[in-house]
Amino acid sequence: MDFRFTEKQEALRREIAEFAKKELPPDWLSFDSFGDTTDWAFVMYLAKKLGKKGWLVRHWPKEYGGGGASAFEKLIFGDEIAYWGIPGTKMGASGTAWVGPSIILFGTEEQKAKYLPPIAEGEPDGIWCTGYSEPDAGTDLAVVKTRAARDGDDYVINGMKVWQSMAHHARWCWLLVRTHPDLPRHKGLSIIIVDMESPGITVRPIIDFRGAHMLNEIFFDDVRVPATNLVGEENGGWNVVMGALNIERTAGACTGDSKRILEELVNYAKGAQQDGKPLSKNPLVRNRLANIAVEIEAVRLLAYKIAWTETKGQISPVDASVAKVLGTESRQRLVTAGMEILGPASQLRPASKRAKLRGALIDMQFMSFIGRFGGGTNEIQRNIIAWMGLGLPKA
């Protein structure tokens, strides 16, 4: 047993820190992983630089332009990027995190040659969105209706998708469609890659209650897509989707940004006064910060344990679910406690000169709602844990 990182791993951390200090503005405190609240030109500028360093796809196999990094190293890297809040790593939602790896797992050689390099290089043509959810198909994804009908060498797509993050910047869509109208539920589904510049596609922004534009509706009106864009078997799309969902095993448990926020809160408490006393001496504040530290450490180590077992080739089916539930719910508790410490200033948006911690908790609060239902609701995750981790019966 050994809880230490290697010198090589520590060196990587230092390299990322240097990159952050060089490329980010000095007072940068923002954890916008998709880039929805960051100037897009800056996001792409960084994506290009990260691509040049091989840092967008370190976790991909070497034969596909990746660094061949293990699951464990991926987590270390992800934690450090998150700590500094470096945007530009996701290539939409998300070329680097799950679309690229899915193409590696399920795509043809032609597809790999065409789609992977722009992702790895941080090019605008490497930006992706994921077309899964529809108005009637969220948690029950298997009932998607968007239809892809075969017509000669093409599929013709009609339907709509909702909640697509970053579709307004995406060049490609990783789309879940119904290719067989008579096979029930997931049996008639396929994954197809759609060029977002195709005629017939309309992207309509959904403004969220921060006033930010991350989410979209996508309408498909007789959109023609070459049949060679199908990924995997026709009507075998569900396997591809399940494979993709499993790739981001520890994504929900990234704690680098939590660690950063804790440090910022500690510094804030040391400098701030309330009723004539430093906030840092207030037992309630000390208690809250200590609790935050406990939860961050539990999630951090859980993520490392999961990544380590994956590196050893032993994957437990519930690990991803455990990490996701604890990571997202403890994150929400962290934000609550953080705002209790910051007080009324918590309401101030980043542009306000009196905002504390650069208003970063507002975004974190907003994203914490999404965390508990996005990427598989926590209710479903708990079902999975109960069924597969404890053998409890399904209803």
Give the SS3 label for residue 129.
Answer: strand
Tell me 5's DSSP state.
P
- Shortest reach from residue 2's CB to other proteins, in Å: 5
User: What minimum distance in Å lies between the beta carbon of 322 and other proteins?
Assistant: 5
Indicate the pairing of strand 172-178 with strand 213-226.
unpaired
**Annotated catalytic residue within 15, 248, 297, 310:** 248
Q: How many residues does the chain have?
A: 395
Token pair, residue 297, equals 């450490």
Does position 72 bind other proteins by CB under 8 A?
yes
* DSSP 8-state class, residue 351: T
Distance from C-alpha of 20 to C-alpha of 25, rounded to nearest angstrom: 9
CB of 259 to other proteins, least distance (A): 11
Q: Which one-letter DSSP state was computed for residue 30?
A: -
Size of the site for other proteins (CB under 8 A): 48
Is 392 among the residues that bind other proteins (CB under 8 A)?
yes
Task: Tell me if 139 contacts other proteins by CB under 8 A.
Answer: no
Our CB check for other proteins shows the closer of 229 and 328 to be 328
Q: How far apart are CA 375 and CA 371, in angstroms?
A: 8
**Of all helices (H) and strands (E), which one includes residue 216?**
strand 213-226
DSSP per-residue letters across 252-302: GG--HHHHHHHHHHHHHHHH-EETTEEGGG-HHHHHHHHHHHHHHHHHHHH
Active site residue 248: yes
Residue of 98, 135, 142 lying closest to 119 (CA atoms)? 98
Minimum gap (Å) between residue 176 Cβ and other proteins:
26
The residue (of 214 and 326) whose beta carbon lies closer to other proteins is: 326
Binders of other proteins among 277-306, rule CB under 8 A? 280-281, 285-287, 289-291, 293-294, 297-299, 301-302, 304-305
Instruction: Find the binder of other proteins among 162, 173, 193, 269 (CB under 8 A).
Output: 269
341 sits near other proteins (criterion: CB under 8 A): no
Q: Tell me which of 167, 177, 261, 326 binds other proteins, using CB under 8 A.
A: 326
Would you please indicate which residues are annotated as catalytic (active-site) residues? 248
User: Which residues would be at the binding site for other proteins (CB under 8 A)?
Assistant: 1-5, 72, 262, 266, 269-270, 280-281, 285-287, 289-291, 293-294, 297-299, 301-302, 304-305, 308-309, 312, 318, 322, 325-326, 379, 381-383, 385-387, 389-395
